[in-house]
Amino acid sequence: MRPAREQATSNGQTYMITSSTWGRRALFSREVWAKLLIATLHHYRGNVYLLHEFVVMPDHIHVILTPKTSLEKAVQFIKGGFSFRVKKELSSRMEVWQKGFSDHRIRDASDYRIHRLYIQQNPVRKHLCEHTEQYPHSSARDGFELDSPPQGLKPTPLEEPSTARLEGVPFQNETGSGAPEGKSFQSEISFRGAARANPTKSKTA
C-alpha cells in the first residue's frame, strides 16, 4: 500500500515532479507545444509555486518547484492550465497527459544539486543535444526567469558529484483510463561534463 501524498499547503518543501504525455506520444517535439508548456509554467510562477528548474522532453517533463499551495494543486494548475490552452490556442482536442504524476521531495542542498543536474543533462543523455545549454526547452539555457532555491537548498561551491542515484516515489497515482505516468527513479546516472551544466542565467529571489 502506497503512503498518501503530503496534503499540507504552503509547507515550504521543494519537489521534483515528473509527468508524461498520454501514451508517451512525443507531443512536445513540436516547437509550438513545447513553447506553450514553458509559457504555462511561467504563467503560474510566483502565485502557485516558485519555479527553480525544468526541462520539456518530447514525451515528458521534469520540474523542480516549491509549491505555495498543495503539491497536487500546483501540478493540476500546470497540467490543467496547459490542456486548456492547447484547446483554446492550438485548437486541439487530443488527450495530453497520462493520469497522475510522480514526485520526489528535495531533502538538502546535495539532493537539490543532484536533481538539478539530472534535469539539465536529460536532453544530452537522450542525444537531443551535445551540451546542456543548447537545448531550447530547458532551464539550463539562458533567458528564462527562475526562482532561486530556498536558502537551505542552495548548492554550495563544492565539486559536483560524478554520479547520482535518483529515487522519487510516485506516492499516489490517479487511476483512470490510462496507465500511471510516473515511474520511480532508481537508476545510476552519469554526469560527465557536469561543468557544462551550470550556465549563467537570471534568477530572482
- Find, among 156, 78, 82, 73, the residue nearest to 112 by Cα: 156
pLDDT of residue 152: 84
Distance of CA 90 to the CA centre of its chain: 23
- Find, among 106, 79, 98, the residue nearest to 168 by Cα: 106
Give the pLDDT of the chain (205 residues) as one tens digit per residue. 333 444 444 578 999 999 999 999 999 999 999 999 999 999 999 999 999 999 999 999 999 999 999 999 999 999 999 999 999 999 998 999 999 999 999 999 999 999 999 999 999 999 999 999 999 999 999 999 999 998 888 776 654 544 444 544 343 344 333 433 333 333 333 333 443 444 444 444 4
Q: Spell 87-122 as b/e; 16+ CB within 10 A means b.
A: eeeeeeeeebbbbbbbbbebeebebbbbbbbbbbbb
Answer CATH for 15-196 from 3.40.50.300, 3.40.50.2300, 3.30.70.1290, 3.30.70.20:
3.30.70.1290
Q: How many residues does the chain have?
A: 205
Indicate the domain borders of the chain: 15-196
What pTM value is reported for the model? 0.75
Residues 33-56 pLDDT 10s: 999 999 999 999 999 999 999 999
Secondary structure of residue 133 in the 3-state scheme: helix
pLDDT of residue 166: 54
